[in-house]
Every structure is written in C-alpha cells, then in structure tokens.
C-alpha cells in the first residue's frame, strides 16, 4: 500500500552537488538571509587546504532532542549541525542553529538522550565523538565555540595508538559504553578519563579481530538496559554482555550479510530487529528464547556498504529508507509480535516479510539512508537523503539534504 506525504521543511538545495566547499558557501548564505545580517556567523572549518572536497556531503547520523524541538546531525564533511524546528510556520527551509567542525573524520558519535536546548542545565547537552587519531571526546551542544569538555583514554597500551570506537551507547545519565576492535567493550563514566571496566570476547582466532559495530537501541533513543547489553560485530555475530560479570556470551551468527550495523528493540522488548550490510533481509530474533532467529523482513533493495538506519515507534512501527527515495514500514502491531501472524506463521519461502506500507518521497534520484522519528510528535520524522557514496560521480544532479515531515499512516485502513 502506498501513502501520501504531507509537506515538510528541509535544507532545500544547500547540500546538493559534488563540492563540499560550495555546500559551506550556500549554507553561509542561507544563514545570512535567515539572520538578516545580525553579525552572528556559523563556525567555519580551519582545515580546508589539502583536502579532497570534490564529493557530496552525506549525513551519517541524526539525533532528536528529547522534547522534539531540535535535531543534531553528523555529516561526513567533519561537521556537526543543530537545527531548531521552526515554531513560526512561515518557512520551509532548515537553516543550522549552530555548526561546528572536527579536524578529523567522525567515525561515530552519540548525543546524550536527555539533550534539549531548553534544559535548565547544560549537563545533558553534550555529544560524544570518535575520530581517527584522536581520543574519544565530549563536546557541548550549548556552547559550540567552546573547547572540548572532556576526553577519554582509548589508547592501546601495546601499540601506543588510539583505538577508534565504532559504536557508542549511553547506559544512564552519567555512563556510556564504547565498542572497538577485537570485540572490546568498555564502560566509562562521564567524569573519568579511564574506563571503569573493559570486556573482550575470546572466541578464537576467527573472531579475534572483530569490530564491535553497534549496540542494541531502545525506541526513541531511551537509555539502554543498565544490567546487560547486546552488541553486534562486522563478523555477523551477536553477543550478550552482562555488566556485572563483564563476560560476553555468544548469541548468534548470521549467514547473510557482511556485518551488523543497527540493532533495534521492540517496545515490549521481546524482539530484536538486526540490520546488516550487503543483504536485503532484516533478522528478527526472540529475546525470550536466547535471541533465536524467528523471522526475517524483506527490504525492496539490497543494502550496500553505505549504512541505512531505521527507527521503531509506537505510531509508525519500523520505518527505513530505500535506495530509490522511498520509505517502507511495518506496523507497530506487527513489530511487537515479530511480524508473526496470529497463527504463528511466517513467510514460508525464506524471502522474508514484505513491507506493509510505502511512502513516496519524491526523491527518486537519491537514497534515503536515515529515518529518525520524533520522540514527541509521533508521526513526524527527520530523514537524510543523498547519492550512493560508494559509486563514482554520477552524470545527473546529486541531491542531498535533511528533510522533516509527517508520515500519515492509517494502519486501520490497510
């Protein structure tokens, strides 16, 4: 079934094209027009010389504030941007509220789940970033011109090199987990530079060099379980880590794909939806049965090396973008029961359960690589669209950007 799309607000043509410096120029012009020459300026990068800027600017991640009033985006131009959802209703263009740059490529980052520009305290308005050849760092989203608030020791004592975290997840207000090479997971306090503990899976030589690629995520960016964590690796393995014993337990190895990139929990916590690279299938695992695979969801395309990120909400269920500019969905009722019908049946040909709903977004020349749904306006989502960064420069116009809109879903009409 296909659904209509309501009008939204987006970055228009700011991120279009294949020249990073021109993107910054267009963004500056949009900022000046919005602020009417107030004298305020967006932060500019201090490292433009000697870089290869003939490429598109692609969003790597999107985070909503807890009150739905703003979003934070991480882009591959080393930039971190904040956008405030307009309350005036007289503009359809997203212009950054703030923009800051790192000196190195951002491998991964994570905004504090309690972040909001309307917080009474700045303690939660922070972002963790992991970059190449740098320690893990915490930055303020309130004072984007300020220095690093804290840095965390991720150095390998054997080699003397920084180990790059590939996954970050907040456990509670003051603690977070990082995952890196050799199946290594560490728990940090925000206020200590060294880890509280470090755990490492030892499943023999075949997995000794696995990279922890993702942690399980609760809906709406809630804090993860304080007692245990599920993490995935680029070796297609899932592990359960008990925080009390710090001993990981092997759960499952998938035969399809080339590494887990996202693990989404259902609201009731009974099912885990596991996304992987280089496959068109999403694994469905039953958490009550030692994470036994019980079903699969079939995507209308095969995910490549460019990550696609989905989200789960109580209104729209599981939503994910496609490589031809659409959004596909499985209803919340289906997601809460593993997309298994009332008779306990699943798709019997091994192809996976097809989407129940498709949203036409009018972005046929671009792929929608991120869909993040608002934690307060349950039908509203922020999405990122871009060309495939793994291909050579196309002849057609490359369309990239951020778009915020409402997905109108009438599941009862299906």
Does residue 205 register a pLDDT over 50? Answer: no
- Helix, strand, or coil here: 26? helix
Q: Which two tokens stand for residue 193?
A: 């530079």
Identify whether the C-beta of residue 63 lies closer than 8 Å to the C-beta of residue 221. Answer: yes
Looking from the CA of 211 toward its CB, the CA atoms found within 13 Å total 13
Q: Which two tokens stand for residue 157?
A: 């004592």
- Maximum CA extent, the chain: 65
Q: 3-state DSSP helix/strand/coil percent for the chain, to nearest 5?
A: 10, 40, 55
Mean pLDDT of 260-272: 94
Q: What are the distances in angstroms from CA 27 to CA 44, 70, 262?
A: 11, 18, 31
String of DSSP letters for 344-375: S---TTSS-BPPSEEEE-S-TTSEEEEEEE-S
Task: Please tell me the least confidently modeled range out of 41-50, 90-99, 144-153.
Answer: 41-50
Does residue 103 register a pLDDT over 70? Answer: yes
* Interior/surface letters 154-168, b for 16+ CB within 10 angstroms, e for the rest: beeeeeeebbbbbbb
User: Per-residue confidence at 112, pLDDT binned at 50, 70, 90?
Assistant: very high
User: Per-residue confidence at 158, pLDDT binned at 50, 70, 90?
Assistant: confident
- Helix, strand, or coil here: 220? helix
Does residue 394 register a pLDDT over 70? Answer: no
- Tell me which of 321 and 222 has the higher pLDDT: 321
- Tell me which of 378 and 269 has the higher pLDDT: 269
Classify the C-alpha dihedral 112-113-114-118 as positive or negative: positive
Percent of the chain scoring above 70 in pLDDT:
87
Q: Which two tokens stand for residue 186?
A: 């560490």
Q: Does this model's pTM top 0.85?
A: yes
Q: What would the pLDDT profile of 35-74 be if each residue is shown by its tens digit? A: 775 556 788 776 655 567 888 999 999 999 999 999 999 9
Identify whether the C-beta of residue 196 lies closer than 8 Å to the C-beta of residue 188. Answer: yes
Q: What are the distances in angstroms from CA 180 to CA 129, 136, 359?
A: 13, 11, 36
Note the residue count of the chain: 414
- Tell me which of 378 and 76 has the higher pLDDT: 76
Q: How far apart are CA 356 and CA 364, in angstroms?
A: 20
Q: Where are the domains of the chain?
A: 1-18+254-413
Q: How far apart are CA 300 and CA 330, in angstroms?
A: 13
Strand partners, 78: none
Q: Which two tokens stand for residue 147?
A: 């220095």
- Helix, strand, or coil here: 2? strand
- Tell me which of 65 and 156 has the higher pLDDT: 65
Q: What would the pLDDT profile of 306-332 be if each residue is shown by its tens digit? A: 889 999 988 889 999 999 999 999 999
Residues 6+ apart with CB under 8 A from 395: none
């Amino acid at each position: 079934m296909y659904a209509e799309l309501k009008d939204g607000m987006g970055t228009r043509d700011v991120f279009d094209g294949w020249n990073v410096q021109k993107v910054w120029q267009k963004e500056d012009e949009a900022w000046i027009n919005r602020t009417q020459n107030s004298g305020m300026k967006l932060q500019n990068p201090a490292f433009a010389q000697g870089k290869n800027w003939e490429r598109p600017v692609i969003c790597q991640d999107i985070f909503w504030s807890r009150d739905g009033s703003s979003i934070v985006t991480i882009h591959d131009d080393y930039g971190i941007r904040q956008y405030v959802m307009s309350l005036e209703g007289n503009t359809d263009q997203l212009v950054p509220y703030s923009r800051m740059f790192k000196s190195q490529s951002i491998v991964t980052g994570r905004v504090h789940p309690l972040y909001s520009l309307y917080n009474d305290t700045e303690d939660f308005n922070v972002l963790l970033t992991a970059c190449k050849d740098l320690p893990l760092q915490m930055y303020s989203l309130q004072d984007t011109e300020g220095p690093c608030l804290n840095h965390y020791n991720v150095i390998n004592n054997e080699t003397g090199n920084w180990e790059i975290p590939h996954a970050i997840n907040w456990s509670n207000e003051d603690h977070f987990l990082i995952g890196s090479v050799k199946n290594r997971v560490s728990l940090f306090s925000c206020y200590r530079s060294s880890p509280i503990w470090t755990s490492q899976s030892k499943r023999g030589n075949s997995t000794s060099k696995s990279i922890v690629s993702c942690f399980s995520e609760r809906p709406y960016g809630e804090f993860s379980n304080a007692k245990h964590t599920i993490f995935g690796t680029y070796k297609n393995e899932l592990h359960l880590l008990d925080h009390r014993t710090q001993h990981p337990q092997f759960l499952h190895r998938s035969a399809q794909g080339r590494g887990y990139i996202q693990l989404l929990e259902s609201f009731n916590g009974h099912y885990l939806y596991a996304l992987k690279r280089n496959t068109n299938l999403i694994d469905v695992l039953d958490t009550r049965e030692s994470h036994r695979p019980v079903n699969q969801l079939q995507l209308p395309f095969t995910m490549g090396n460019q990550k696609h990120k989905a989200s789960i909400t109580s209104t729209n269920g599981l939503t994910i973008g496609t490589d031809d500019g659409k959004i596909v969905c499985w209803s919340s009722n289906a997601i809460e029961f593993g997309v298994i019908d009332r008779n306990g049946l699943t798709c019997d040909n091994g192809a996976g359960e097809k989407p129940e709903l498709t949203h036409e977004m009018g972005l046929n020349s671009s792929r929608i690589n991120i869909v993040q749904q608002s934690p307060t306006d349950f039908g509203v989502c922020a999405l990122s669209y871009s060309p495939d960064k793994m291909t050579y420069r196309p002849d057609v116009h490359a369309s990239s950007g951020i778009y915020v809109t409402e997905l109108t879903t009438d599941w009862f009409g299906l």
